[in-house]
A and B are shown apart, each in its own frame.
Chain A
């Protein structure tokens, strides 16, 4: 009895193995770049790691297709290389001769991508499912764009500065006009004097007068 069961199992797995091959229409290729991701802390890829991969994939399938109890044996792996890369296919738990179609597998992986990644301490780039594009992370949209906040702060400061400037100049002028009525009379006299004695202070005013001679010459 036991022999028969063993024989059937081997047959089943042998059959499944034939369906798993590179460029299979039912499976995907996986590439891991462990050294790139972890550097010195990279772990060695071995049988146990492969077991974990198959288990996490079974977990992803269970999550996606509710009710169906996927087991590790439903995930069939082949063509492992040194890269580390391999192909896998998924069989249905109800009937091992039936393969789950690509769309479902893709959707399952997409759904649980983060969990699979963290099981291996890898990222979307270093644990690559070929032809499954990672869901592009949308940039976090802030409720108020931060640039407007900075703008508001800066403009508030500048606006306050302008108002202070204008107010201070108004205050200065008021102070001057309050002090003015006293020297207004003196001003009139000195003004006349400065105009007449303009030459004494600035040679500049002479310039326009001396220009006269040139003008007439022309």
Chain B
């Protein structure tokens, strides 16, 4: 048993390690956040701030995390503790953020599983509105919005009209959440031993599916419109500072920095390993995946916009045909304008009364979304119109599930490795039970997200935990390594590990550029959050302007919780430093009164273990 403790587990081979890091970095955000940002911020032009952020902020931080984990061979808490006991709080903050993010992230996986389970029906359940009890009409909530919206908000989430109404635990979501956690457990059960095997499938499969989708999507009508719209650069957007801020935050969260997971993974490496090349590989693959994923996504969105446009036009045609009793199919999309002009000239009042819609392809293209909206509303609508919808739906949801699962492994490893390094696991407990306990605890707490108001809570967790605390942690990480550990010492370590001293690019970015960028991004982020009053969009069928979302302010107690969620992980940094300082003072006072030359060593070693 003792041999196992002193022998650190390690990766079977280099490929496993790289795939795991790539899997952790490449997640759902690459598929549903990056394409949306690309489209909102002027298409091809967005790539410029994105790549600049990658080069100046993403790669240096990534390299630093991989190097420090590999050198010190400890998880996040151990690493920061051994650099300086006062900075141990950084590790604790990382661990807490990892755990909290893992909780809500798995809820998204549960939703993906729910849609996956429902993709094995013909027709797909989100295609048609259900009929009311009298069989006289469709359910009004569904008719007013759309069948995909209804399926997502009512049949999946059963969402309440506001966050104060909690509703009850939705049993089907509890089932899906339990199965998501079982999947996570089965991959995570023995730490990197099992993760290393699982990721062969979960990391490679999404690329396969993306390629299949790419080939399929490019053959759909309207795909070209979507792609042109996505990639047409609009250089004016570069003048907007929000674009640069979003690019910086996107690259930061996309690479999953400051979670402690990357440090944990690299700590299982052999020390003589080229971490510089690893960092470049992981960073570049992550960015490449984002760009590669946006091509089929936007081709499919272009197809959907095209379908909507055709439906709109055909509706207009039908109205004219019926009102003027013109022969069936005499008015087509091509001659519509001629017919319209002719009819308008002869009978303008009649044409007026028909209330014809203005069909503009551009308006339909702009109706994109990010996040869960993209996957569960926009994409599901597009899939209905593709021949063989079930196959595409199944493939899509498996891909999303794999992407999310490999990120979950990283999150949980960022919790497990520090706990193991701190020797907080009782020696009698086998690792399998401990990982099971972590999964069980996370499952129990994340039952909040299965309530009727669960989606609102998930948004809160996403906005307040997965953002600001990470920026703060990353800032402290880089300051600790560069100024407390010492950049020269760090350079020596890297030279020892890789055989080459880091060049001027790494030096410049580590010392000045990256910390400065992080600080600027953090301040800008805080300023922007402070300007916006905390509101959220609620789905309320009784709202006057339904199906538009009702924008409600957060109640006071919810705002307090948001503040707590942001503050608690971060507060551990000063708390731990304070605690260490107090211990140091106590020790100092003790030695002043009892000069015992041997007491120093013993007490110092005791505190260092913690």
Contacts and interface: CB of A to CB of B under 8 A. Distances in A.
B117 A147 contact: yes
B51 to A, nearest CB: 36
A146 B601 CA distance: 66
Contacts of A191: 2
Nearest to B2: A191
A31 B322 CA distance: 8
Nearest to B86: A218
B179 A151 contact: yes
A204 B326 contact: no
Contact of A187 (B3, B130, B189): B3
Interface stretch (A58-66, A68-76, A92-100, A133-141): A133-141
B64 to A, nearest CB: 17
A200 interface: no
Contact of B185 (A162, A204, A211, A214): A162
Contacts, number: 103
B430 A169 contact: yes
Contacts of B605: 208
A99 B183 CA distance: 69
A214 B484 CA distance: 11
Contacts of A24: none
A155 B185 contact: no
A169 B130 contact: no
Contacts of A146: 118, 120-121
Interface in A150-206: 150-151, 154-155, 158-159, 161-162, 165-166, 169, 173, 187, 191, 194, 202-204
A110 B485 CA distance: 83
Given A138-B135, A139-B130, A159-B182, A211 B329 contact: no
A82 to B, nearest CB: 5
B463 interface: no
A150 B600 contact: no
A216 interface: yes
B604 A136 contact: no
Interface residues of B, number: 48
A89 to B, nearest CB: 19
Contacts of B511: none
B82 A207 contact: yes
B67 to A, nearest CB: 14
Interface string A78-116: 000111110000000000000000000000000000000
Interface stretch (A5-13, A32-40, A46-54): A32-40
A204 B128 CA distance: 63
A169 B328 contact: no
Contacts of A204: 72-73
Given A136-B131, A216-B600, A207 B325 contact: no
Contacts of B183: 158
Contacts of B430: 169, 173
A165 B432 contact: yes
Main secondary structure of the interface of A (DSSP, over half): helix
Contacts of B186: 158, 161-162, 165
A214 B584 CA distance: 13
A81 B326 CA distance: 8
B326 to A, nearest CB: 6
B313 to A, nearest CB: 14
A83 B6 contact: no
B598 to A, nearest CB: 13
Nearest to B183: A158
A95 to B, nearest CB: 33
A81 B120 contact: no
Contact of A32 (B2, B118, B121, B328): B328
B190 interface: yes
A193 to B, nearest CB: 12
B198 to A, nearest CB: 11
A82 B189 contact: no
A84 to B, nearest CB: 7
B175 A151 contact: yes
B327 interface: yes
B376 to A, nearest CB: 15
Interface in B47-87: 72-73, 82, 84-85
A83 B327 CA distance: 4
Contacts of B584: 218
B422 interface: no
A35 B329 contact: yes
Nearest to A159: B182
B138 A136 contact: yes
B608 interface: yes
B462 interface: no
Given A33-B328, A83-B321, 11 more contacts: A36-B328, A136-B138, A139-B131, A148-B117, A151-B175, A154-B117, A154-B179, A165-B194, A166-B189, A169-B432, A207-B82
9 tightest A-B CB contacts, nearest first? A81-B325, A147-B117, A83-B325, A35-B329, A35-B328, A150-B117, A82-B327, A33-B328, A136-B131
8 contacts: A82-B326, A147-B114, A158-B183, A162-B185, A165-B190, A169-B189, A169-B430, A204-B73
Interface of B: 2-3, 6, 72-73, 82, 84-85, 114, 116-118, 120-121, 125, 128, 130-131, 135-138, 175-176, 179, 182-183, 185-186, 189-190, 194, 271, 321-322, 325-329, 430, 432, 584, 600-601, 604-605, 608
